[in-house]
Structure formats: C-alpha cells, structure tokens
Structure 1
Amino acid sequence: MADKEATVYIVDLGESMADCHNGRKESDLDFGMRYVWDKITTTVAASRKTWTVGVVGLNTEETNNAQDREGLEGYEHISVLQDIGPMTMSSLRELRSSIQPSYSSGGDAISAIVVAVSMIEEFTKKLKYHRKIILVTNGESPIDDDSSEEVAERLNDVNIELVVIGVDFDDPDYGFKEEDKSSLKAKNENILRKLVDQCKNGVFGTMAQAVEELAVPRIKPVRPFKAYDGPLTLGDPSKYESAISIHVERYFKTKRAVPPPASTVVIGPDYGVPSQSQTIDGDVEMGGTEFSGVKYMRSYKVNDPDAPGGKRDVDFDDLAKGYQYGRTVVPFSESDMSITKLETKKSFTILGFVPFSSYDPFINMGETGIIVAQKHNEQAELALSAFIHALHELESYAVARYVQKDLAQPQILLLKPNPGIEDEFECLYDVPLPFAEDVRSYQFPPLDKVLTVTGSILKEHRLLPSDDLKQAMSDFVDSMDLSNFGEDEEGKPAEYAPIDDSYNPVIHRINQAIRARAVDPEAPLEPPAEILLRYSKPPEKLIDKAKPDIEALIDAAEVKKVPAKAQGRRGRKEAVKPLSGLDVDSLLGERKRTNISMENSIPEFKQTLATATDDATVEKAVKQMGEIICKLIQDSFADLLYARAAENLLVMREELISLEFPALYNKFLTALKKSLLSGELNGDRREMWFKYIVGGHLGLITQSESGASEVTEEEAKAFAR
C-alpha cells in the first residue's frame, strides 16, 4: 500500500511579504512561494490520492477557520485556503489566485500552527499517516509565544513534523545572517526556533537555502518490483533426480527512467493551456473551458473499377498483415502468425557456465536484475548461498534462459555471483546477453601498421602516428584526467563527477518545465539548473591547466583549420575558361543547350545551368526538369521509377542551392507534394513522398542551407509531415 501523507502549508500573506529585501527583485512572498509551488507541483505530478495537501493563509484580511467560528480568541486573520485533500491542477489554479499579499499583519503564526494541527487531526484520525506542517514567513508580524510549549507537546503527541522556513532568517550552518534586522523579526526568529527545538521532528532553516536546494533533482523513490517468483533449475527436475531446483525471487536492480509522456487534447479557443495533466476521452468542462480528447479514425480502401470513384471501403477485420519480400508483398493471416509465434512457459533454467576471463563487459544489454532466495525459505537460502559461493570460488558466471511468464519472449541472462563478503548481502546479479542476430562484427584495418596490396607490412606511413604524436596524445589525455579533479569537504582531491551527483538533464529539465507551466502558464521558463549542466562541458580550470598539452598536440598532429565552404554566387556558376582563352564550344560547333531530354536529363540539366547567362534560362531548365520528374512518377509501375525521380530531384536541389535559387526548388516541391497526395499523378503516389522525398531528406531548402531561402527549420519540418 502506498505511503499516506498529510501536509499543511502555512503561507504568510501579510503586508510586509509584498516588499523586496536584500537586493532581490521579487517580493518575499514570491521568493517563498518558489519553494511552496515546487513542493505542491511535485505532489500533483505524483498523482497519488494518498498524498494530501492543505493550505492555510496567515495575515489574511478575512478570517476563516474552525477555531474562530467556535468563538476562540487569537485566531483572527487566519484563513483556510484549501482543506486537506488530493491536489489537482484545477485546485492548484484556484489556490494560485488566492495567494496574494494582503494589507493585514494581525495574524499569529503559532495560532496558524494550531489551526493546521486541528486540520490534520480531523483528517487523519488515528490512521497511519506521515504528518507535516510547513510554515513560510518573513517574521515581520507579532507572535504570541505564551502557548508555544503546549503547541509543541501537541505536535509531539500527534507525531507531526514541523518545518519552519523563514525569508532571510539567520542560519549559521548555511552561512547567512541578515544585517540591520528589526528587533521584532529577531524576536520572532527566536520564538520559532525555540518552538522547533521543542519538537521531536522539527526543522528550522532559511529560505535562501531551501530555494537553492530546489535546483537539485529529487530522485523518485521506487518500491521493489518482483519480476519472477519460481524455481531456478540446473537440469530437468522432472526427469533427473540429480537436477537442482532452487526457489528464487527476481527483482529489478536498475530500471530505465523516461520523461513523462504527453497527451493530445484539443484546447478551447479562449484558453491557452489545459487544466488537467491527463488524457481526456470525451468532451468535458474544466474551469469553464471545454477540452476534447483527440480520437483517431482510419478507413481502408482498395481499387475497385465497379465502385463509385474507383475505390471501395474495406473493414479492418478483412485485412491481413503483409511482409515485403523483394518487390512482392507476402500476406500473413492470423493463423499463420500463430504458427510462427514461439510458445514458451514460465521458467528460469541454467544453460551453462563461462569463466570470468572469457566475458567482455561491453556485451551487457538492457537492465540489471537481482536474484535472491524466496523469503522465509531456509532450504532455498542455503542452496542459493552454496551456489553463489561455488561460482565465486570457481570464478565463473552462469548463463541462464529466462522466461518471465507464459508466452513471453525468452531472454538469455548472465548471472554474476555476489557472495556478500564486502557488503554482507548474498545474491546473483543478472544482465541480458545478446543473441547471435544482435551481434554485428565489422573488420577494421589495424591501427599500428599498414598492409599493402602486395602483402608487405609498413610500420612507418603517413597514416600512422609518429612517436612524437603518440607522446603528445598521451600527455594530453593525462592532463585531462577528471578522476581526482574534484574536492571533498576538507579540500582534498576527490572524484569530480560521482555517480550520485550525475542526473539525466532531459528528464529533470522536462519535469522542471512542467512544474513551471502548471503554476504559471504565461511566465517564461527559467534556464536549466546549473547542476544539470555541470558535466556537459569540461571545467575551465582543467582546460587552462591542459592548454600547453593541447597546443603541443596541435603542433605534433599538424592540425590546420579547414576553410569555410564557399557559398555559391547568385545567378549562374562562373564558367571554367581554358588557359588558351579559346571558346571550345564554338570550335567544336556545339550550341548552348535549350532542351533537356528524359533519357539524359541529369548531365543535360547540369550543362544547361553551367552555360546559363540569365535567370530566365535557369527557370526554364528547372521547369523542364520538374516536368521530367512528374513524368517519371506518373509512368512508374508501383515504385519502379521512384528512385530515378528522386535522383533527378536531388540533382535539382543541389544545383539550385549552389546557384542560390532556393525559391525555385521550394515552389516546385510544394506543387509536387500537392500532386502526389491528391492522386493527380496517376493514382496513389504517397510512397514517393514519404519514403523517397521525406525519407531521402529532399525537403524544402532552409535558411541554414542557403542564405537566400526564407524557409525556417520549423517550417520545413511542418511541411514534411
């Protein structure tokens, strides 16, 4: 069962929270809410009904709490903004509109804590919950500490954790102290610190540290997932008495983390962002805005001369899978597919053993698992322990065939023994191994010698590194060593990039962006946290240290800058003139080409552009080449002439990029796409578009390819869909 949590946030909304202090451009309230919003949005993203949240406003203009309604004194200007319950995007947006600074300062922080305690007691009853109260304040409003000891005892009795985070509160451990602090704020800090010290579970800190720690990604705790529960066999116990069978359990040790998936919804015209992070199956009303789930519908048609329009609809049940074999499609029915499917049964069988020395770690594939004996089964524990120690003493791995459940795909696993000598935990670690079809062997020439066609071996060659180059490279690699470039708490050399501090920037950046959008859809996204970019580039100090070795390597390798690729001239290419200055075409009696034939289209197209003297000649040549491409597609039987048409299109594209006439190509390609998808070129020619043009990267010429183009990368990607 999932852990149950009940958390109440007490947010100071007093008049002083609207002010900015200590050089910040944002108010104390906005600064403190950065921490609160991050915590609440994390709860929303988890989407667990057992993680409940409540919010209490301190120093509000109105009063809304159960204690005040009962006639108790000292609970003025305290309002329950949200009762304890599951947090959703709708309630998050409603709460966001309530978090505004007021013109009041008459609320008492300890009374607000009492209100939060009562809320938690009423909601959780005597059930097992993790209870927490988080108070965010700048301490500028008076606090009555007469009942602080009684409040601390009540917190301890109910087992509630109290977290007080103050804006610009002093924190010697963090190294922050506010200068010129008012006497009222200093007094309130001491009262709250004393209250936290009296609690069994209490935390007191400054907001600057809390906001700084938000940049550190929070690792999601994952419960163990049992992937297999059954016998691990060596031999067949049903046939041989000497066979071994050990009842084991397999869990995931490592699991690939992925970013949260996106759902497609239709957004109402009067709103910019959907108010629910979930897939919507039907038309619903959320916060006054209508959203519709996207539904996909497919229709299948076949050619039928007798049907209206020449095509006839076909039901999905009448379709069969087909596999391409050469240029022929081989159909496969469901009955045929059932024959090809491997019928497996749940099993975990050891096939053999290999020594440590004969296995290369780079063969590992996929995620790691851990195998332990069945719980409360002493016989299985003893047998597995003996097996693990036997593998360890013989320095061998076991190779096993693993089928997680009936009809599942089999896997070949390598089992590594962990005898528990160092960590006192006996188990088997497993990793998937590749099948023969997964292995690709490539032959490369040796790096230390050159083999000539006559069979001789050359140790010195222009393609082989010299001794000076080898030494320079060795010095460069040594100078870029990161293993001990970091520093520990005592300033001693330590590992620069420990695995626990290395985070996936893609996953955590997306989560950061989602949380920011959930709180404020209009605000710009903040740049990625520094901790996510820390290891994306080498440290500057290390580069400065290695600079002499880098320069020595450049000199030894004779590295030279490659000149930038020359851009084509607007108009036509400059014709190559012979040294004699004679007009070779005139001497040979050849005229400048005006027409392009289909049989020799590519060389004639290039020749026409090479001798073009004006833009009209280029446009005429492009028009003729376009007609040839359309003719090839129209006359093609199936995809027989598609490759030839794509080759002509590639030549047209390259030549027009060189001449800086991208508009001509983009105009032709736009018309060609319309003709292909509408069936104007003798039937369904969509394969030519998606496989040969889009798949062959023959799309629109973008600004990055030609400075004369007006098409952006985003427009080109949208056009290719």
Structure 2
Amino acid sequence: MSGLDGAKKLITSMIEDKVITGRKMDQVAIILFGTEDTKNHLTEDGQYEHICEFSDISQPTLDLLREFKAVKTSTDVQADLLDALIVSLDMITTYCKKLKYIKRIILFTDGESDVNKEDVETIQEQFISQEITLTIVGVGFEGLESNVKQEGISKRKAENHKFLSEFVAGASGTLLTLQEALDESNAFRVKKVKPTTTYRGTLDLGDPIQHPDTAINIPVHMYPRTKEAKPPGAKKWSVLAESAAMEPSTSQGAVSRTHEVTLSRTYKLKPTEDEAGDINGIADLEGEQDIAQEDLEKAYSYGRTLVPIRKVDEEVLKLRTHKGLSILGFVKSDTLPRDYFIGETSVVCPNPNDFKSGRALSAFARSLDETGRYALVRYCRVEDAPPKLGVLIPYFEPDLDLLEYVELPFSEDIRRHTFSSLDKVVTTSGKVLTEHKLLPTNDMLDMMDEYIDGMDLDKAVTDDDGLNKLSGPCRDAVEYLKSEDAFNPGILRIHQAIKARALDPSVPIPPVDERLASQMKPLPNLLVANKDLIDRMKKTWEVKKVPSKSKGDGKRAYGAMASGVNHTGPGVDLESLLHRPAEGGVKREGENDDVDMDVRKLLGNKVTKVSTVDPVADFMAMVENRDEDLVTPAVEQMCRVITELVTVSFGDAFYDKALSCLVALRETCALENESDAFNAFLPELRATCVSQQGGRRSDFWDRVMEKRITLISADEAVDSSVSLAEAERFLQGEEAPSASSAPIEQDEDIVDTDDLLQNLE
C-alpha cells in the first residue's frame, strides 16, 4: 500500500466514524489538490489551480464514502498546499460565519510539491483568530524529525518538512506522520455524549408542603454518570424488493419499490369451538371477526382468569405522585449491601446558576462523609412517575463536592435465594461436619489465596506498551483492564461489520480485532507466572475433563442401555441403574465404578409427588424445582408421608425413615418460609403418636424428643411467630401455641400400598 493510499484509507476511516454516529452537527467537506482539473470557488486569473472541491460542507453520507473510494491518487500533477489551505479557510469562514463551531482542518501531503511561502504569517493568524485547529499528516515523513539525512528522501521533501514544522508551530497546530495518524485513528474511542439532565428540581429535607418553615430545599440537577451503551438499531429490510430491483421490468406501469418495510397489525375476535365449523375434524376459524384497536381493553391474569380493566378505571387506579427528590432518612454506609445497588448511576450537582445551592450541597455531602452515612431518598423524575427508592452517596473531586444517586430495590425486587454453606456440612440428623470431601482443606485455601494474588491485575502490565511480556513484576507496572480502557466487544464488532459491508456488501466480515480478543482472555504473562501453581491446584482438586454428552444420553437410550445394546458406550444393566449390588449384595468384579444414573432422569419425568420409597429425595427435588414453585405442595405431601410411615410401620421398621423425613422437613420449612406449616403439623404428629390409637406410637415420639426436634422459633426463621421459650416448653410436653396457618388436611385413603410393599421387602 502506497503512502497516498494509506492517507485515503485514513480519511475513509474518519468519515466512516462520523457516518455511523449520524450526528447532524458533524459537517465535513473534502478538498483535493493536485488534480488535473480545477474546481473551487476562489479560482480566477490562473490562481488556485489544480484544486477541486470534491464535496461541500455537509453531513457525511454513505454516498460520499462510495464516491471518495472511487477517487484515484496521482503524483503527476502538482499543486500548492498553502493554496489548498486558503481555499479550506475561506470555505469554513463562509459557512460558519460567527456561529460557535468546533472547526478543524486536516491536511494530507507527501511534501513533494513546491510551496509559495508568501503571506505565511497572514495564514497563521487566520487559523488563530478563527479558532481553527490545524493538523498536517505527512506521508513519508517518518524519520525526518531527527534532522539526519535519510536515504531515498528528496531534498524538496526534507525542506517542506522543515517548513511545515515551523508553520504548524506558528498556527498552534500539529504535524504527524502517517503512521502516527493511523495509530491514532485505530485507537478505540468512546462516543462523546452531550450532558443532559434527567432531573431538575430540589433535594428536599423535610416536607415543604406541610412544614414550609422548617423544610430545606436545595436546587439540584441530575446527570447520568453510567448508562448502558446500546448497539446501533436495525430496521427491517425487504429481500423481495432487493431481488425485484435486480430483475428487468416486464411492464410499462411497473412501480418502483423501496427496501423499507411498514408494519401493520390486525386484531381478530376468535370464535368458540362450538361456533366454528368442523371440517375433517379440524376447527374452521374463518368466521374470525376484525376488531379495531380502540375497541380493545387490557386484561390482567388472576390465576387462570383474565380480569379486564378499562382505561377509565386505569386512570382512577393510577398511583398519583409528585416530582421530587426527597430524603427519607439516613443509613450507615457499612450496613448497605453492595448487591443492593441496581440500575444506572447518576450524579447530583447543585444548580449551576445558584451559588447558595452549591454551598448547601457541599455541606450536606461533607456531613454524610464525616458521619459515614448515606441518605435514603424517594425519587420521582416527573409527575405521576412510579416512585423509586435510592441512596445518595457523597462523592468528591478536586474543588468539587457532589452526590451520586444509586437506585435500590424494593422488597419485591430482591431474590432471596438459599445456598448451601461453604464452610460446613449438616447431615440429615443435624450433625455439623467441619471435615468433609465437599469442604476445602487449609492447603486448598492457601493455594487459592496465592492464585488470586498471582492473577491480580493491579500491576499486571507496563505503562508504555500496555502488555507486560515479562513473567515477573515490572518496575513501571500499572493496572490492566480498567473500566475506562475496557471496550464493549459486541458494539465494536457490529460497527466493524457495518463499515465493511457498507462499501462492499460482498466482502467477508473481517476477523475480530486482536485488541478486543485479548481483553477477553487471561494475560499470557500471568498464566506463565502461575503455571506451576495451576498444575498443583489441578492435582490437589483432582480436576478431570468431563466428557461431552452424546446424543444417546437421553430418555430414548434407556431401553438400549437396560438391554445392553451398545449405543452410547458400554452396556449398562438395570441393576447398575438402580444402584443395587448383584449376587447377594457383593459387587461383581469388573463392574463399572463410574456408573451413576438416575432412572427418573433417564425417563425424563419431573418429580411432583413425595413417595414413601425415597421421600427425602422426592421432597428435595420438588423444593429445588426451578420451573415452578412446588415448595408448599411438597411440604404438605411430606407431612402426610411422615404420618403414613409412623402409623403403618410394622413395629419400628419405618421409624428411622420417618425421623429423617421430619429433620429434612424442619430444615426446609425454616429456609423456605413455611415455618407455620411445620409448627401446625408437629403438634398433630404428637397427638397421633401419643393420644390416638391408644398411644401405640409413643415410642416414635420418644425418638423425636431424643433428637430435640421442636417447633421452629423466630430465632431460626423470620416468618415464625413462636418464641424460643415456647419452642423449649413444647419439648417439655406443653401445648403448642396456636399457629396462623390451617392444619394440613389428611386424606382417609393416603396409604400407597405399592410403595409400602417395596419398603417391606
């Protein structure tokens, strides 16, 4: 690629950035000098020759890019670059007049043409007085800054380089080489956004309506500080119109079609199955009736029923709010969980035209900082907008005291998930284990601490090249991948594809930029430095590659595996699937130790019932179901199963199973806000064991007392209304306090005979 072709590529890239942003105030003009013809508004009497105004000052378009791409560079015709600067200056001055614009001229030259150096000072003064920024990009100027004679550099180019260096210094401009300009153009940039207020009003401390004399009102403005950047939106494109445009027209009255697509929507009233005809067993719905959009109302789901709400009712039921930013109270900064910060961050600053508001906001921010507190606020952006709960955090910059607004969740927005403990294991009997195969050892914890320190990005790269090649620490190491240096690969990738296809729809999409690909991977120097540690961690944790799941692992492979047919691997018999040892309980030699399958998974059945075969597993499967909420049905069914196991047990055959079910039920009810259900069931179970059937099951209740299984107190679950003292008295045999929930209904015929017979085998 020649130097002039590189300059052409750079100009194309600069215009592409302006086309894709689409700002109306971005105006561009292209002036070519060194052309065979002359076409500019200053040409007369043989002056300003070989200078062509390729485009007027206007918003750049894709057509301009395509026309400029077709321009062929030539070195046969020479033109004075100062004449080209004069034409550019006059064009900008005439267009902008006295209006406030950011004006800039970028000149590309190879420095091989003669330059008339008359009136140089006048041109420099024009750049300064008109506040026009000048940048000159020299093609082939690399190495000329050293003032050492370069091989292959003409005397004229060297002289022009010296002249241009002095010229840009007098015009407060910049002289760059083509490579420096290309590096600057290829650098990732963030789209500049004009600050726009999202709220203009007052920060209220107190009620300005009820107590205007004591309330404090600080005029403030709010600006977005962090806001998610969106990729460019896409519109519908008609492929049919595209193919029709390529075909020759066959009729004189053919209508030219555009690629734009309009959306139309129709609403139809669907008839009932009784009203619709029936043709060959298929409902005929041709009797659908068109409905106008203004005849539609909203209907909300209430269970399986739709409840219509008229527009008039919606206006009456709408929550009426007033615009404002009101302080509700104050919270300690260390008591607010970091995961409660949701949404985007805004900065609250004083009214720029009110000095008193700036002083008041500064005092308020410093008071929050000194006391270590945040302000809890209610925020309504406009009238009748849904109120938001937020917090104001003091934020300081040099000579600037501000507040940051962060939205907080309401109770409905919080997801109260329950996770297993990472530092202990609790058995079904309630025993706490501190040493277990699922718990990390001290050596594992030490290695993980060392790994985190070794992969720390705080001082991971050098400050000059951005990527430290050394495996050890560097003297000038700086932080890697700061937020302001980490760019969204998805957005930049879309921009890259649009630019490529805009000029030539047939070109392939270019590969991902290496700079984007590298920021999505760990730093190579950190991986090298921690290789030995990673190997030790793999060995300690016994990390193994999990084989990919084959297509035959689903429920359709069940029959083949049970019969020993080799579709997905070695044959598996039904005994192995059921985890039952063959031949009198002795494991056969050569059995596959890695077989760990669940028949229910093979069959693809979802657990919706707690059986008496493995009630704890069924119960936990229903509780952990993520597709639908089965916690309450699982609790009710588990209560019934426990009663079944106790009442039909032959002697104490089922007592251990019933006891483990009771422990699992209590733990789950405490975690899943089902404490009232458990507290209502336990007294009924005691009555069943002690009072009913002549007290034949009192021996089971003695086991319950030995395990100290009692009511769930308020200290264990927030939804419980039973105190710790009441739970302790229940263990002593006193009556339980009345529970708020209704007792679990017991069916008369609740015994699953098949399940119980399997247990008796």
TM-score computed with the length of structure 2 as normaliser: 0.65
Partner of 2:313: 336
Q: Do structure 1's residue 295 and structure 2's residue 263 form an aligned pair? A: yes
Residue 536 of structure 2, aligned match among 552, 564, 573: 552
Q: Distance in 2 between matches of 1:479 and 1:233?
A: 48
Q: Does structure 2 retain, via aligned residues, the 8 Å contact 1:451–1:458?
A: yes
Give the unaligned 5+ runs of structure 1: 1-25, 274-284, 585-602, 608-721
Structure 2: which amino acid aligns with 1:72? G
Residue 483 of structure 1, aligned match among 449, 458, 481: 458
Q: Do structure 1's residue 372 and structure 2's residue 317 form an aligned pair? A: no
> How far apart are residue 251 of structure 1 and its match?
2.2
Q: Distance in 2 between matches of 1:211 and 1:220?
A: 19
Partner of 2:29: 54
> How far apart are residue 174 of structure 1 and its match?
11
Partner of 1:536: 520
Partner of 1:467: 442
Q: Distance in 2 between matches of 1:577 and 1:539?
A: 48
Q: Distance in 2 between matches of 1:176 and 1:46?
A: 43
User: Taking structure 1 as reference, are residues 339 and 126 closer, same or farther at Cα in structure 2, changes over 3 Å only?
Assistant: closer
Q: Distance in 2 between matches of 1:175 and 1:257?
A: 46
Structure 2: which amino acid aligns with 1:392? D
Structure 1: which amino acid aligns with 2:58? G
Please list the CA deviations of residues 3-52 of structure 1 after superposition, one character each: whole Å capped at 9, or x if unmatched.
Answer: xxxxxxxxxxxxxxxxxxxxxxx333331122211221222233333322
User: Taking structure 1 as reference, are residues 184 and 385 closer, same or farther at Cα in structure 2, changes over 3 Å only?
Assistant: closer
Residue 38 of structure 1, aligned match among 4, 13, 36: 13
Partner of 1:394: 371
Corresponding residue SS for 2:194 = coil
Q: Does structure 2 retain, via aligned residues, the 8 Å contact 1:168–1:178?
A: no
User: Taking structure 1 as reference, are residues 343 and 491 closer, same or farther at Cα in structure 2, changes over 3 Å only?
Assistant: same
Q: Do structure 1's residue 117 and structure 2's residue 89 form an aligned pair? A: yes
User: Taking structure 1 as reference, are residues 513 and 140 closer, same or farther at Cα in structure 2, changes over 3 Å only?
Assistant: farther
Number of equivalences: 540
Q: Does structure 1 retain, via aligned residues, the 8 Å contact 2:329–2:377?
A: yes
Q: Do structure 1's residue 576 and structure 2's residue 563 form an aligned pair? A: yes
Structure 2: which amino acid aligns with 1:470? L
Question: Which shows bigger deviation, 174-183 or 218-227?
Answer: 174-183
Once the two structures are superposed, the pairs formed by residues 339-418 of structure 1 within 5 Å of their partners are 339-418=316-395
Q: Do structure 1's residue 234 and structure 2's residue 205 form an aligned pair? A: yes
> How far apart are residue 198 of structure 1 and its match?
2.4
Structure 2: which amino acid aligns with 1:375? P
> How far apart are residue 554 of structure 1 and its match?
0.7
**Structure showing greater relative contact order (alpha-carbon pairs closer than 8 Å, 6 or more residues apart):** 1
Corresponding residue SS for 2:27 = strand
Question: Which shows bigger deviation, 225-234 or 398-407?
Answer: 225-234
Partner of 1:514: 498
Once the two structures are superposed, the pairs formed by residues 208-357 of structure 1 within 5 Å of their partners are 208-240=179-211, 241-266=213-238, 268-269=241-242, 290-303=258-271, 305=275, 309-357=286-334
Q: Does structure 2 retain, via aligned residues, the 8 Å contact 1:265–1:294?
A: no
> How far apart are residue 567 of structure 1 and its match?
5.7
User: Taking structure 1 as reference, are residues 416 and 458 closer, same or farther at Cα in structure 2, changes over 3 Å only?
Assistant: same
> How far apart are residue 412 of structure 1 and its match?
0.8
Q: Distance in 2 between matches of 1:428 and 1:495?
A: 27
Corresponding residue SS for 1:310 = coil
> How far apart are residue 372 of structure 1 and its match?
2.5
User: Taking structure 1 as reference, are residues 550 and 55 closer, same or farther at Cα in structure 2, changes over 3 Å only?
Assistant: same
> How far apart are residue 88 of structure 1 and its match?
2.5
User: Taking structure 1 as reference, are residues 386 and 472 closer, same or farther at Cα in structure 2, changes over 3 Å only?
Assistant: closer
User: Taking structure 1 as reference, are residues 457 and 54 closer, same or farther at Cα in structure 2, changes over 3 Å only?
Assistant: same
Structure 1: which amino acid aligns with 2:430? G
Partner of 2:178: 207
> How far apart are residue 460 of structure 1 and its match?
1.2
Give the unaligned 5+ runs of structure 2: 247-254, 278-284, 465-473, 566-570, 575-598, 604-761
Partner of 2:250: none
Q: Does structure 2 retain, via aligned residues, the 8 Å contact 1:300–1:316?
A: no
Partner of 1:18: none
Structure 1: which amino acid aligns with 2:180? Q
Please list the CA deviations of residues 261-317 of structure 1 after superposition, one character each: whole Å capped at 9, or x if unmatched.
Answer: 1222436436999xxxxxxxxxxx9xx984333333324232173899332222222
Structure 1: which amino acid aligns with 2:271? N
Q: Do structure 1's residue 454 and structure 2's residue 426 form an aligned pair? A: no
Q: Distance in 2 between matches of 1:218 and 1:178?
A: 35
Please list the CA deviations of residues 100-142 of structure 1 after superposition, one character each: whole Å capped at 9, or x if unmatched.
Answer: 2246322222222222222222222333332222112333444
User: Taking structure 1 as reference, are residues 61 and 416 closer, same or farther at Cα in structure 2, changes over 3 Å only?
Assistant: same
Q: Does structure 1 retain, via aligned residues, the 8 Å contact 2:197–2:224?
A: yes
Q: Distance in 2 between matches of 1:294 and 1:446?
A: 56
Q: Does structure 1 retain, via aligned residues, the 8 Å contact 2:144–2:161?
A: no
Q: Distance in 1 between matches of 2:260 and 2:108?
A: 39
> How far apart are residue 536 of structure 1 and its match?
0.8
Partner of 1:643: none
> How far apart are residue 553 of structure 1 and its match?
0.3
Corresponding residue SS for 2:142 = coil
Q: Distance in 1 between matches of 2:69 and 2:105?
A: 19
Please list the CA deviations of residues 129-168 of structure 1 after superposition, one character each: whole Å capped at 9, or x if unmatched.
Answer: 3222211233344444455444334433433322111223
Partner of 1:527: 511
User: Taking structure 1 as reference, are residues 398 and 29 closer, same or farther at Cα in structure 2, changes over 3 Å only?
Assistant: same
Corresponding residue SS for 1:323 = strand
Identical residues among aligned pairs (%): 35
Partner of 1:442: 417
Partner of 2:170: 198
> How far apart are residue 538 of structure 1 and its match?
0.9
Q: Does structure 2 retain, via aligned residues, the 8 Å contact 1:414–1:432?
A: yes
Q: Does structure 1 retain, via aligned residues, the 8 Å contact 2:144–2:150?
A: no
Q: Does structure 2 retain, via aligned residues, the 8 Å contact 1:152–1:198?
A: yes
Structure 1: which amino acid aligns with 2:60? M
Residue 49 of structure 2, aligned match among 69, 76, 83: 76
Partner of 1:703: none
Partner of 1:631: none
User: Taking structure 1 as reference, are residues 575 and 387 closer, same or farther at Cα in structure 2, changes over 3 Å only?
Assistant: closer
Q: Does structure 2 retain, via aligned residues, the 8 Å contact 1:266–1:294?
A: no
> How far apart are residue 65 of structure 1 and its match?
1.9
Structure 2: which amino acid aligns with 1:405? V
Q: Do structure 1's residue 132 and structure 2's residue 130 form an aligned pair? A: no
Please list the CA deviations of residues 522-577 of structure 1 after superposition, one character each: whole Å capped at 9, or x if unmatched.
Answer: 44343333333332111111101100000000111111233344565999947735
Structure 2: which amino acid aligns with 1:406? E
Partner of 1:90: 63
User: Taking structure 1 as reference, are residues 314 and 53 closer, same or farther at Cα in structure 2, changes over 3 Å only?
Assistant: same
Q: Distance in 1 between matches of 2:147 and 2:478?
A: 24
Larger radius of gyration: 2
Q: Distance in 1 between matches of 2:191 and 2:303?
A: 49
Please list the CA deviations of residues 307-358 of structure 1 after superposition, one character each: whole Å capped at 9, or x if unmatched.
Answer: 9933222222222222233333222222332344211111221111111221
Q: Distance in 2 between matches of 1:76 and 1:468?
A: 81
